[in-house]
Amino acid sequence: ELKVEQNPLFLSMQEGKNYTIYCNYSTTSDRLYWYRQDPGKSLESLFVLLSNGAVKQEGRLMASLDTKARLSTLHITAAVHDLSATYFCAVDANFGNEKLTFGTGTRLTIIP
Amino acid sequence: EAQVTQNPRYLITVTGKKLTVTCSQNMNHEYMSWYRQDPGLGLRQIYYSMNVEVTDKGDVPEGYKVSRKEKRNFPLILESPSPNQTSLYFCASRLVHGGGTDTQYFGPGTRLTVL
């Protein structure tokens, strides 16, 4: 059974600081996704990572994938309040199957 | 506007009363999926569909049914709802299965309460 773990589950950080969210998964996968969810809202797709060493960046967020370590990171640079949200990673363990397993999410709060 | 729609957005019902949550997408996507979101458990996949008439179980399919008779619609059916199906439900769709950098679009969610 595929397990996806995110750390930390809760993160409170000051504006302007940098931090990293970690996503570990238990079986081989070559596709990993990051999503953002604002309170009471739906999920918004942030990044799709398709291969070992993949790195994607959008504004203050950067995601990377290490398939050998079964680890993805979401790095936040110089955090701003607008980034407060819950972030999920999700893993597709079977290529072409599309079955996604989500992590439990990281609730990020940026304090002014 | 490209979107995934769900109806109803909120529903309170009683145990055993059959219900259907509709999901429709206007992007001609092949792949569609249903998830439920519960506190502390994240999102769990219920069922997914790779194309018309092709559906498969996700991680938590018990108590649910789906159908995919048309490409744009993917309804979720609860034949005999129980209180443990109280949850927030999301439908999602995606253009191409099996690869690529396509994103997955999520519907607005349906909050279901079963008394």
Question: How long, in residues, is chain B?
Answer: 115
Q: Do the Cβ atoms of A61 and A75 come closer than 8 Å?
A: yes
**Which residue in B42, B59, B105 is closest to A88 by CB distance?**
B42
Q: Which residues contact A51 (CB under 8 A, 6 or more apart)?
A: A30, A65, A67
Q: Which residue of A has its CA nearest to B30?
A: A98
Residues of B in contact with A100 (CB under 8 A): 33, 45
Residue B25 Cα distances to A33, A97, B35, B110, angstroms: 21, 20, 16, 15
Residues B95, B96, B102, B104: is their CA dihedral positive or negative?
A: positive
For residue B65, pLDDT over 60 is answered with: yes
Residue pLDDT, tens place only, B71-109: 999 999 999 999 999 999 999 998 865 555 567 889 999
Among B10, B25, B44, B106, most A C-beta atoms within 10 A, so best to mutate, is B106
pLDDT more than 70, % of chain B: 94
A7-32: pLDDT as tens digits: 999 999 999 999 999 999 998 877 89
Q: Supply the DSSP string of B82-94, one letter for each residue.
A: -GGG-EEEEEEEE
Using a CB-CB cut-off of 8 Å, the residues of chain B touching A55 are: none
Exposed/middle/buried for residue B12 (C-beta within 10 Å: 0-12, 13-18, 19+)? exposed
Question: Which of A33, A96, A105 comes nearest B42 by C-beta?
Answer: A105
Interface size, chain A vs chain B, as Cβ–Cβ contacts under 8 Å: 57
Residue A42 and residue B42: Cβ atoms within 8 Å?
no
| Beta carbons of B77 and B66 less than 8 angstroms apart | yes
Query: Confidence class of residue B1 from pLDDT cuts 50, 70 and 90?
Result: confident
Q: Which of A92, A100, A104, A107 to mutate to test the interface with B (most CBs of B within 10 A)?
A: A100
Under 8 Å between Cβ of A32 and A72: yes
Asked whether the beta carbons of B96 and B105 are under 8 A apart, the reply is: no
Residue in A4, A9, A42 to test binding to B, most B beta-carbons within 10 Å: A42
